[in-house]
């Protein structure tokens, strides 16, 4: 993104959102009632099971569409795969996993593109539609909004432990991890639209710290996160105590530090949880106080995980971490 800012990228009056301020997807207004929402994402396998990996990668790619208040319509496979050394059956299972989630989202798979690469990679380019007046972005946090998180943190740490063979397939924590990453964010997106929420971002590679900070900067507001209220996998904190911390978490924390105000009561372990890079994570939502009760009731009806973790205040753009 820093390199793109140095280029003379064309703009247009109908371009409602581009890559600026860490936006989750590009949004282009087609008519007074229809906006096109477009995003793409792909990455290397995070688990050994190719069908499960396909599901995770597809769910992750679809999240950028959902968090923007859009309905996914079309998906293209983005594939890197070696010609030799890896059975083609593996690729078939990855694509089957991706298609499984595309169908669950009610979208259509319409092709894709592949390149030869020694290291497999998979993801989607996705197009969706939204009403221009109902778009949800990370620049719409308002003073008084309550901040909710819709999936627990710690997935990056758990995946690192899995790769180190400290988490075994079919174990309870493995299944929790898989269930979290393969869960579509479609149901929480439905509630967001029903209640006409305006501010949200998904929590992925930059961790909660990075994405919350992007929201604070884009909205020009102070965001307060209460570390003691943030949900996380207990096993993740245990692995932190063992020193099993992904390099990306260090990078996230170091990058955010200059715009963080951290209470002395917040432990280093808590900060690493907050900085942990998520794969197919949840949403950070801004819910006006007057909509808090109905939001929680609707989430309960749909049996969705939500946790109140902070609030939005007027003030200089920054992120405050309190206990």
**Residue 19 — pLDDT band, cuts 50, 70, 90?**
confident
The domain ranges of the chain are 2-134, 146-322
User: Which pLDDT belongs to residue 11?
Assistant: 86
pLDDT at 85: 87
**Residue 276 has what DSSP assignment?**
P
Compute the half-sphere exposure of residue 176: CA atoms within 13 Å on the CB side of its CA. Answer: 15
Mean pLDDT in residue range 148-156: 98
Please report, in angstroms and rounded to a whole number, the separation of the first and last CA atoms in the chain: 32
CA distance 188 to 3: 33
Whether pLDDT at 21 is above 80: no
CATH class of 146-322: alpha beta
Q: Is the pLDDT of residue 5 over 80?
A: no
Quote the CA–CA distance of 286 and 260 in Å, as a whole number.
19
Which pLDDT value is given to residue 22? Answer: 75
Pick the CATH number of 2-134 from 1.10.357.10, 3.30.1330.10, 3.10.110.10, 1.10.1740.10: 3.30.1330.10
Q: Cα–Cα distance between 57 and 63 in angstroms, integer? A: 10
Instruction: Give the model confidence (pLDDT) of 86-95 as tens digits.
Output: 999 999 999 9
The pLDDT assigned to 23 comes to 80
Q: Please report which confidence band the pLDDT of residue 18 belongs to, taking 50, 70 and 90 as the band edges.
A: confident
Q: Write down the pTM of the prediction.
A: 0.95
**What pLDDT was estimated at residue 225?**
98
Round the average pLDDT of the chain to a whole number and report it. Answer: 95
Residue 247 has pLDDT above 80, yes or no: yes
Return the pLDDT at 261.
95
Give, in order, the Cα–Cα distances in Å from 279 to each of 155, 158, 196, 276, 286. 7, 11, 27, 10, 21
Percent of the chain with pLDDT over 70: 98
- As a whole number of angstroms, the distance between CA 5 and CA 25 comes to 16
């Amino acid at each position: 993104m820093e390199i793109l800012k140095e280029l003379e990228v064309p703009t247009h009056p109908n371009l409602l959102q581009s890559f600026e301020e860490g936006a989750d997807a590009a949004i282009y207004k087609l008519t007074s009632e229809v906006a096109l929402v477009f995003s793409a994402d792909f990455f290397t396998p995070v688990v050994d099971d190719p069908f499960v990996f396909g599901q995770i990668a597809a769910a992750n790619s679809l999240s950028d569409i959902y968090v923007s208040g859009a309905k996914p319509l079309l998906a293209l496979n983005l594939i890197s795969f070696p010609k030799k050394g890896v059975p083609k059956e593996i690729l078939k299972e990855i694509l089957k996993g991706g298609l499984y989630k595309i169908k669950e989202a009610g979208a259509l798979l319409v092709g894709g593109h592949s390149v030869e690469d020694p290291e497999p990679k998979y993801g989607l380019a996705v197009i969706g539609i939204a009403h221009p007046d109902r778009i949800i972005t990370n620049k719409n946090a308002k003073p008084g909004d309550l901040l909710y998180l819709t999936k627990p943190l710690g997935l990056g740490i758990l995946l690192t432990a899995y790769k180190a063979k400290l988490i075994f397939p079919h174990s309870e924590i493995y299944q929790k991890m898989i269930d979290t990453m393969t869960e579509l964010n479609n149901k929480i997106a439905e509630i967001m639209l029903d209640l006409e929420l305006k501010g949200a971002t998904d929590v992925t590679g930059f961790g909660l710290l990075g994405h919350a900070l992007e929201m604070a900067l884009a909205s020009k507001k102070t965001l307060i996160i209460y570390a003691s209220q943030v949900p996380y996998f207990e096993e993740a904190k245990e692995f932190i105590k063992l020193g099993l911390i992904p390099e990306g978490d260090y990078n996230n924390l170091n990058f955010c530090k200059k715009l963080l105000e951290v209470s002395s009561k917040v432990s280093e372990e808590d900060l690493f949880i907050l900085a942990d890079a998520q794969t197919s994570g949840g949403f950070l939502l801004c819910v006006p106080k007057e909509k808090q009760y109905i939001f929680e009731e609707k989430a309960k009806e749909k049996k969705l995980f939500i946790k109140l973790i902070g609030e939005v205040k007027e003030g200089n753009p920054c992120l405050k971490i309190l206990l």
